[in-house]
Amino acid sequence: MADPRGGDRLTHVDETGAARMVDVGGKDVTARSATARGRVEVSARVVELLRGDGMPKGDALGVARVAGIMAAKRTPDLVPLCHPIAISGVEVDLQVTDDAVLVEATVRSADRTGVEMEALTSVTVAALTVVDMVKAVDKLARITDVEVVAKSGGRSGDWRRT
């Protein structure tokens, strides 16, 4: 079984250590997807507002969902060595628990490279938006546990975090 941490070399640096964009021109176009998740730890008052009357700034979860979708599409503008790819779908789900907002994003594409970075960017920006929307009530809100939990497609095939 392959090492879940990946290969044995950094692909985005050349033999001299200089940053480079990986050439994916020779790779096959395949259906690919990736799912990432993260948490925004919030106060009991924020949970109460999100479950009830809402936040002073408005629909925090709706705004965060749209921000996550937009972020996935802008990933190559934010992460220097990411390829622009044709994203075919983005789903962002936010769930309020007793002490956090759980954020999960799944990104799909048919292209030559994976969408893990797009899923991570989606989750992170959605989580940042939650923090922005709740900061008037909870200045201690914090983002934790952002990680890829699954991917499919491409040469390395399917993978799921255990």
14-37 pLDDT, tens digit each: 777 777 777 777 787 889 999 999
Binding-site annotation, residues = 81-83, 117-118
Q: Any idea which residues carry the catalytic annotation?
A: 132
CA of 131: how far to CAs of 102, 116, 118, 125, 162, in Å?
Answer: 12, 23, 20, 10, 28
98-137 pLDDT, tens digit each: 999 999 999 999 988 889 999 999 999 999 999 999 999 9
Alpha-carbon distance of 105 to 90, in angstroms, equals: 7
Question: What does the domain layout of the chain look like in residue ranges?
Answer: 30-153
Decide: helix, strand or coil at residue 57: coil
Query: What pTM was computed for the model?
Result: 0.87
Q: Are 129 and 137 in contact (CB under 8 A)?
A: no
Q: Could you confirm whether domain 30-153 is CATH 3.20.20.150? A: no
Binding-site annotation, residues for substrate = 81-83, 117-118
Decide: helix, strand or coil at residue 86: coil
Two structure tokens written together for 121: 């960017």
